[in-house]
């Protein structure tokens, strides 16, 4: 029997190619795994009306960890229009499978390391080494949304909040409401994950990202909860910054930051910003981590314009596989894999188009594998 059981969910578009590339590398490493392939994404939506079918949910209950490629998603109306004729008009509503997966399996940590590997020609600056902890299940991604807004809700909000007055007389379909919901427990546990990581990895500082001066209720609670957790980690410096200001400061002085922790939406924003500083989507890797399951993925999407061309950079997915190895306790393999990536980037002989080269997805995977 294999040592690890791994869910394998390539999804759509380039997700399929980058997962195949990561598999070449994992196989060359001698990673002892049984891979269980699962369906997810656009074709599941079109043919079955569910982008994350129950059989894939069940599969994830039976594995130690999973790799996920990328999926295509579209706004609600465009998604409905692409359903097969038998499923049209049945009231099916598209919801992102990865957001659902994070909530269903309580994958509350979104961990996004952003390291500028030496010699990568598209590094913003050499030496950047940031780690983003994004809360992954709450906030504006809670899925509590109204469009049109029910009268009952409008009446209640009008009754409870003076600030709602300018909206109260609007026709129901002339505005929409998305609820930002943050809990003390959710805020504390993501903060604790960030501080524990900082301590375990010799990191010096954690920056709490928020907008508590304006979004006082939810971000105020997030900041207060994170600050209270910080008191348990007196060996780690702590500071906080507004989401708008930090986008500017991160670009100006990236070396002033180390570990960053943020609610869901701000974490989404800063992790893309940080990923761009270390080479962009071809390098952005991510772990969705809960108490019982972790799912690793590149942060990019299905990039339809490059699908099937064997052209995109697989390093984000290969680095996501490295994160999976770390999480599974295969630290030795994780170190070897990262060293192989470092060597390929530093040599500069094999580069995909985003790095200014002309090598294919598989050539990059083979180059990394050849170093193992």
Minimum distance of ligand NAD from residue 301's CB (angstroms):
2
CA–CA separation, 111 and 203 (whole Å): 15
Report residue 290 as tokens: 């809960």
CB 244 within 8 A of CB 211: yes
Pick the stretch among 71-79, 153-161, 231-239, 331-339 that binds ligand NAD (CB under 6 A): 71-79
Question: Closest approach of Cβ 97 to ligand NAD, in Å?
Answer: 8
- By CB under 6 A, the count of residues binding ligand NAD is 18
The piece of 148-156, 187-195, 300-308, 326-334 that touches ligand NAD (CB under 6 A) is: 300-308
Cis peptide before 148 (omega within 30 of 0): yes
Residue 220, interface with ligand NAD (CB under 6 A)? no
Regarding 77 and contact with ligand NAD (CB under 6 A), the answer is no
Which tokens in the block code for residue 225? 């909860």
Selected binder of ligand NAD within 157, 301, 307, 372 (CB under 6 A)? 301
Give the shortest CB-25-to-ligand NAD separation in angstroms.
15
Q: Shortest approach of ligand NAD to residue 71 CB, angstroms?
A: 4
Cα distances from 288 to residues 135, 152, 190, 291, 316, in angstroms, run 10, 36, 12, 10, 15
Among 56, 73, 123, 136, binds ligand NAD (CB under 6 A): 73
Rounded to whole angstroms, the Cα distance separating 324 from 6 reads 10
Q: Which residues contact 341 (CB under 8 A, 6 or more apart)?
A: 117, 315, 318, 319, 322, 368
Of 2-10, 58-66, 68-76, 123-131: span binding ligand NAD (CB under 6 A)? 68-76
Minimum CB distance to ligand NAD, residue 51 (Å): 10
Question: What is the Cα–Cα distance from 370 to 304, expressed in whole angstroms?
Answer: 29
For the segment 131-170, give every residue that binds ligand NAD (CB under 6 A). none
Please tell me whether residue 313 binds ligand NAD under the rule CB under 6 A: yes
Q: Which residues contact 114 (CB under 8 A, 6 or more apart)?
A: 128, 129, 130, 131, 132, 271, 274, 275, 277, 278, 283, 284
Ramachandran angles phi, psi of 53, nearest 5°: -65, 155
- Cβ-based nearer residue to ligand NAD, 207 or 359: 359
Stretch that binds ligand NAD, among 28-36, 66-74, 126-134, 161-169 (CB under 6 A): 66-74
CB of 284 to ligand NAD, least distance (A): 8
| 305 lines the binding site for ligand NAD (CB under 6 A) | yes
Interface residue with ligand NAD among 29, 208, 303, 319 (CB under 6 A) is 303
> How close are the terminal C-alpha atoms of the chain, in Å?
24
- Dist. CA 337–CA 350, nearest whole Å: 16
In the complex, the smallest distance separating the C-beta of residue 101 from ligand NAD, rounded to whole angstroms, is 10
Q: How far apart, in whole angstroms, are the C-alpha atoms of residue 277 and residue 238?
A: 23
Q: What are phi and psi of 221, to 5 degrees?
A: -65, -45
Q: Which is nearer to ligand NAD, 196 or 354 (CB)?
A: 354
Q: Which is nearer to ligand NAD, 68 or 197 (CB)?
A: 68
For residues 260 and 287, the answer to whether their CB atoms sit within 8 Å is: no
- Which x/- pattern, by CB under 6 A, does the window 329-368 give for ligand NAD? -------------------------x--------------
Stretch that binds ligand NAD, among 31-39, 102-110, 137-145, 310-318 (CB under 6 A): 310-318
Q: Is 142 helix (H, G, I), strand (E, B) or coil?
A: coil
Residue nearest to ligand NAD (CB): 301
Chain residues in the site for ligand NAD (CB under 6 A): 18, 70-73, 98, 281-282, 300-305, 312-313, 316, 354
């Amino acid at each position: 029997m294999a040592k690890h059981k791994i869910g394998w969910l390539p999804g759509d578009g380039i997700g399929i190619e980058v997962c195949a590339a990561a598999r070449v590398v994992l196989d060359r490493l001698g990673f002892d795994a049984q891979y269980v392939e699962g369906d997810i994404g656009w074709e599941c939506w079109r043919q079955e009306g569910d982008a994350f079918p129950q059989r894939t949910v069940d599969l994830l209950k039976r594995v130690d960890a999973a790799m996920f490629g990328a999926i295509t998603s579209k706004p609600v109306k465009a998604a409905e229009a692409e359903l097969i004729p038998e499923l049209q008009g049945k009231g099916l509503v598209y919801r992102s499978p990865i957001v659902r997966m994070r909530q269903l399996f309580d994958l509350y940590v979104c961990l996004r390391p952003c390291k500028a590997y030496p010699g990568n020609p598209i590094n913003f600056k050499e030496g950047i080494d940031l780690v983003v902890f994004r809360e992954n299940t709450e906030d504006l991604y809670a899925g509590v949304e109204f469009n049109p807004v029910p009268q009952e809700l409008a009446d209640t909000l009008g009754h409870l909040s003076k600030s709602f007055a300018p909206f109260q007389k609007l026709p129901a379909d002339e505005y929409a409401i998305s609820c930002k919901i943050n809990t003390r427990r959710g805020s504390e546990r993501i903060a604790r994950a960030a501080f524990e990581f900082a301590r375990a990895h010799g990191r010096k500082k954690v920056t709490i990202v928020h907008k508590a001066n304006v979004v006082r209720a939810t971000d105020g609670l997030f900041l207060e909860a994170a600050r209270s957790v910080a008191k348990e980690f007196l060996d780690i410096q702590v500071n906080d910054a507004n989401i708008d200001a930090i986008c500017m400061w991160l670009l100006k002085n990236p070396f002033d930051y180390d570990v960053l922790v943020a609610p869901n939406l701000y974490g989404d924003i800063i992790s893309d910003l940080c990923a761009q500083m270390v080479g962009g989507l071809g390098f952005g890797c991510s772990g969705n981590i809960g108490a019982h399951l972790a799912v690793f993925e590149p942060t990019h999407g299905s990039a339809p314009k490059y699908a099937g061309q064997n052209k995109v950079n697989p390093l984000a997915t290969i680095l996501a596989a490295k994160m999976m190895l770390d999480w599974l306790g295969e630290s030795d393999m994780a170190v070897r894999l990262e060293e192989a990536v470092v060597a390929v980037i530093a040599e500069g002989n094999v580069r995909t188009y985003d790095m200014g080269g002309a090598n294919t997805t598989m050539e990059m995977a083979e180059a990394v594998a050849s170093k193992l």
